Amino acid sequence: MKDRIILHLYLAVIAGLVGAILVFMKESGWLVFGAIFLIVMVFALIREALHDPVEDFEPEIDLTQPLPPGFGRALLEEMPLALIVISPKGRVVYGNNAAINLLPKLEVGDHFANLFRAPAFVDAVNAALEDGESSSVSFMTTQGGDRYFETRIGLVPAGSEFGDVVHAIVEIEDRTRHRQAEKMRSDFIANASHELRTPLASIIGYIDTLQGHAKNDAAAREKFLDIMGKQAMRMQRLVDDLMSLSRIESNAHIAPKDPCSLYDIVGETVAAMQPLLPDGAVLDNQLPSKQISVRGDRDQINQVFVNLIDNAVKYAGTGPIEIAEAAPNPNYPNMCGISVQDHGPGIEKEHLNRLTERFYRVNTAQSRTKGGTGLGLAIVKHIVNRHQGALQIESALGKGSKFTVWFPLQENISIKSVA
């Protein structure tokens, strides 16, 4: 508005100067009129070219206080869903607390088209303002990462607290987490089905062979039965891991309360796994002889280190596997860390952030050959999260890998005796 006023002042001054000069030069009245008319037309064209219709805003109400204090305003402001009210000229005249939290840059007086870069949303609001059409629309934005929204657009009748004209009211719901959860579920089902289908198809194929031309071939029968047994064991491991993951997730919101000694549990795990190690594998327990108090689920903590040690044994070759106390880390204050380090081939950096995803494998063929299900580190992550801890992964090609599990320290609690 201010810029347009200044533009008109420039126009008046220039036209006046041109007219005065032409009069001083004793030019005819028609020439003076023509010159001033031409100047006015040029400025009008410039103004139209630079005109932003969004700036033609004359507020229908006082935007600084669109709603009087009271129960109605308190109710709107405390609603969990984001609500915004939009004037007939497209300006935001009200946004509740949820809307401000969802859209931190929301400002009363801004045009609604600045809220989202989503044509479907803009068209739906315009339809409500122009034609009185209520609607629902879903859309995705890529500002700050992919986000999914659902909006419901209705009308506030004239004569409300927002003024004597009809306004649009928009309810906005962020569905990003819901969509991500749906994708995770669908991916999980697809991956689980694939993992089960492969060994199942192999078993069915060998059964058909044994019932057919290899029916009386003793050597083939022994070979095929051995393969079928391995595939059946693979399926059993997968089902066991799926059941374990399901149990962990069902209690993910319940933090463990039983006090226990972390180092004692890890020591038990290492001792129990020693007889199961393949030739050449060595477990080196470097934990000091002291008690570290945590509140935890003994069985789940045991499972964490069984999975980490098992992974190290499978993929690190024949080198030593060291279980040691982690040095204090400012990123994990008031926590105790235990690391499982191998000296194997290591993992490329681009894989590290995805290692705890379900069924994610750096080398699929190698993992299946070694009996991996792709769920071990996912189980570790979920157990650690339930214990309000953290999993730190460090690795480099040719330098091995180190997995450090951090658990919050507990002070002044009694320690359960170790059976």
* 322 and 418 part of one domain: yes
**How confident is the model over 166-217, as pLDDT tens digits?**
888 999 998 888 887 777 777 677 777 777 787 888 888 888 888 887 788 8
What pLDDT is recorded for position 404? 94
Domain with 209, as residue range(s), is 178-250
* 188 and 313 part of one domain: no
> Is 58 a member of any domain?
no
* 268 and 409 part of one domain: yes
Q: Measured between alpha carbons, how far is residue 95 from residues 29, 68, 85, 110, 364 in Å?
A: 58, 14, 7, 11, 50
Length of the chain equals 419
* 310 and 377 part of one domain: yes
Residue 152 has pLDDT above 90, yes or no: yes
The SS3 of residue 405 is strand
* 290 and 368 part of one domain: yes
Q: How far apart (Å, rounded) are the C-alpha atoms in residues 171 and 155? A: 11
Whether the Cβ atoms of residue 35 and residue 16 lie closer than 8 Å to each other: no
State the average pLDDT over residues 15-23: 59
**How confident is the model over 330-362, as pLDDT tens digits?**
999 889 999 999 888 888 888 888 888 888 877
| Residue 172: HSE in the Cβ half-sphere, 13 Å Cα cutoff | 30
What pLDDT is recorded for position 242? 80
DSSP state of 388: T
What pLDDT is recorded for position 54? 42
What pLDDT is recorded for position 58? 43
Q: Tell me which of 324 and 144 has the higher pLDDT.
A: 324
Please tell me the pTM assigned to this model.
Answer: 0.56
* 401 and 418 part of one domain: yes
> Is 127 a member of any domain?
yes
* 267 and 388 part of one domain: yes
Residue 87 has pLDDT above 80, yes or no: yes
**How confident is the model over 266-310, as pLDDT tens digits?**
999 888 888 878 777 788 888 888 888 888 888 899 999 998 998
Boundary residue ending a domain (137, 156, 174): 174
> Is 309 a member of any domain?
yes
What pLDDT is recorded for position 14? 65
**How confident is the model over 309-328, as pLDDT tens digits?**
988 888 776 678 899 999 99
Q: Tell me which of 158 and 329 has the higher pLDDT.
A: 329
Bridge partners of residue 375, in order along the sequence: none
How many domains, in total, are found in the chain?
A: 4
What pLDDT is recorded for position 57? 43
Q: What percent of the chain has pLDDT over 70?
A: 77
Q: What is the mean pLDDT of the chain?
A: 78
